[in-house]
Structure formats: structure tokens, C-alpha cells
Amino acid sequence: MVTEQASSADTQALAQEFVQFAIESGVLRFGEFKTKAGRMSPYFFNAGLFDDGAKLSRLAQFYAKALLASGIEFDMIFGPAYKGIPLGAAVAIELARLGKNVPFAYNRKEAKDHGEGGSLVGAPLKGRVLIVDDVMSAGTAARESIALIKAAGATPHAMAIALDRQEMATEKQADGSVQDVPHSAVQYVRNTLGMGVCCIAQLSDLLAYLSAQDGNEMGQHLPKVQAYRDRYGV
């Protein structure tokens, strides 16, 4: 059964707090940014800029709180290379601090042919695996992680991400062109792959935050973000 993140005042408050934290940390920025899909986005989220101990610790707290509120059950955490490695490790540490101690593993981009060898590091992949990453765009990284987990004989059960952009995914066509599809990467993972997805915040939460900033400098970004949502949103 696919488990949706609980919708409540608590999770909405957590999402608003996270959006503010991401903006203050310089992780969520406004301007003109070209996405992998070739779209010009008025905002950009780069989890790699949670780049010191305090930020990473607080980020892990957001992930852990969202996961515990979601009701998603899992037996271990997998962090896909590269951003998912520190994220997954930090979330595993925070969950253990909160009383849920689970094994953690990650992959290398290139398999190692000496020492322990292979592309997987950490605990053996088994049971229901939670994949921890920053965002999902086309879902390519998710599919790679899912294939690795299945090849190890474990079950890719759910994903935890920081931000759901809530926009149409893209798929490469036979002629090499890229085309928009009428679902997001998150919807694909939930509805087609049957996995749970827990996100700390969504684009709708960012829009709600900007709406509440009406009259100040931050609120000026609302029209462009809303227009992007109207054009590419799902």
C-alpha cells in the first residue's frame, strides 16, 4: 500500500518552517535558473548548500520529523551517490537519536575492484528500503537506485525527499528529443512504481510562504513562481 504523507496542521507548519530555513540558508534561491529539462525556473533548490554541521543537522531533523509523521514503515536507509550519501547518513543519525535505529548503505558511482569491492557500501541491502535524496526531477536517479536495490534482493519501498517541485517530468524520446509528460516524478514513483514518497515540503508550500510575504521583498517572487506552476505544474 502506498502511504501518503499525513496532511495536518503539524506537517504544514513543518513545511513552512523548512521553506524559511532553506531560504535563510541560501539553498532555495530566486532568479532565473535553467533546469535539466531545459525549463527556465524562477527558483532553484540546491541541497548541496546545506554545507556545514549545523545546517545538515537541522536538515536531518526536518527529514526525520516528516518521516515519522508520514507513517511510512522501512527497515533501512539507502543514500544514492552523491548527494544522497550525506543526506542518508545524517537522517539515519537523527532517527537513531529519536529512537529509530536502522541500518544505512550507499553506492559508489564506479564499482571498486579491490578491498571489499563492488558498488555498495555499508549495511547489506535487505527488507524494505527507504531511499533518501534531495529532489526528484525526471526520476532517473530514483530508477537507478531502485534497480540496485532490487538486484541486491531487497525491496525499494519508499523515498524521502526535501522538496517536491510538483511539475511535469520529462522523458527522452526515440529520436533523442525530450518531451513533457502529464505526471511528476513523484507521481510516477507513487502511482506507477507503487512506492511511498515522503517530502518535507512541496511547491505549494513555497507558494503559501510567498503569499504570506505580501508587501515585502520576498513576496515579489510570487507572480513568477505562480506562473511557472501554472505552466508546468501537475
Catalytic residues: 112, 114
Task: List the one residue out of 135, 10, 112, 153 whose CA is nearest residue 70.
Answer: 10
CA angle 67, 94, 54 (to 5 degrees): 115
Which residues touch 30 (CB under 8 Å, ≥6 apart)?
Answer: 42, 43, 44, 221, 224, 225
The answer to whether the CB of 43 falls within 8 A of the CB of 203 is no
C-alpha cell at 178: 525530450
Phi, then psi, of 129 in degrees rounded to 5: -100, 130
What is the C-alpha separation between 83 and 81, in angstroms, rounded?
A: 6
State the distance between the two ends of the chain, measured CA to CA, in whole angstroms: 22
E-assigned strand segments in the chain:
28-34, 40-45, 76-79, 104-112, 118-122, 128-132, 155-164, 170-172, 178-180, 196-202
The C-alpha cell 504570506 sits at 212
Phi, then psi, of 2 in degrees rounded to 5: -85, 125
Residue type, 63: Y
Task: List the one residue out of 76, 72, 195 whose CA is nearest residue 124.
Answer: 76
What is the C-alpha separation between 34 and 201, in angstroms, rounded?
A: 21
